[in-house]
Amino acid sequence: MGYDLTGRKKDYIRHRENESSWMWIWDIVCNNCDFLTPKDKEEGWVNNGYFITKEKAKMIADKLTKLLKENKINMPDIKKIRGKTMMGYINKVGALKDSGVISGLEMQLKSFSDEMPNEMKIGLMLWPFINFCEESGGFEIW
């Protein structure tokens, strides 16, 4: 299961993330993009077709690019991510523990050189999403 981001431009544009990836990407967006409304932030956790406008998509791309270049990005909030599930609800039975989203992020980080700082690894993993935001014309989260 995953998240499909569908752009609104005439040319069909998509960006796909698995659940593990989307949880930490969206958490980074929420922690760094104060221009998003509380509704934007909450609905972004859920893959129900919520629309992020063209203006906000571009602002997300610009903000994350700027912060990455300055090495000032706020890293994911692991405790917050741990409480989210595919549909954005709190997992009351604890099925999403360290073995789920957290290990997914850790596995992705381990795919890079050990000498590379985690902030740089996160930046490299964010670039496809940033490029999608720039080109999407706004997007729906499915």
Q: Name the residue ranges covered by the structural domains of the chain.
A: 2-141
Specify the pLDDT at position 73: 84
Q: In percent, how much of the chain has pLDDT > 90?
A: 46
pLDDT in tens, 49-74: 999 999 999 999 999 999 988 888 88
Count of H helices and E strands in the chain?
6, 4
Specify the pLDDT at position 96: 39
Identity of the residue numbered 37: T
Q: What backbone torsions phi and psi does residue 49 show, to the nearest 5 degrees?
A: 90, 10
pTM surpassing 0.85? Answer: no
The token pair at 107 is 């596995």
Specify the pLDDT at position 90: 37
Query: In whole numbers, what is the pLDDT of the chain averaged over residues?
Result: 80
Residues 6+ apart with CB under 8 A from 54: 8, 136, 137, 138
Place of tokens 């993330």: 17
Average pLDDT over residues 104-121: 74
Comparing CA positions, the residue from 50, 102, 96, 94 lying closest to residue 78 is 102
DSSP tag of 100:
I
Strand (E) positions, the chain? 2-7, 14-18, 50-52, 139-141
Which pLDDT band, with edges at 50, 70 and 90, does 23 fall under? confident
pLDDT in tens, 71-100: 888 877 666 665 554 444 334 333 433 444
Helix, strand, coil % over all residues of the chain, rounded to 5: 50, 10, 35
Can you tell me the distance from the alpha carbon of 47 to that of 44, in angstroms, rounded to the nearest whole number? 7
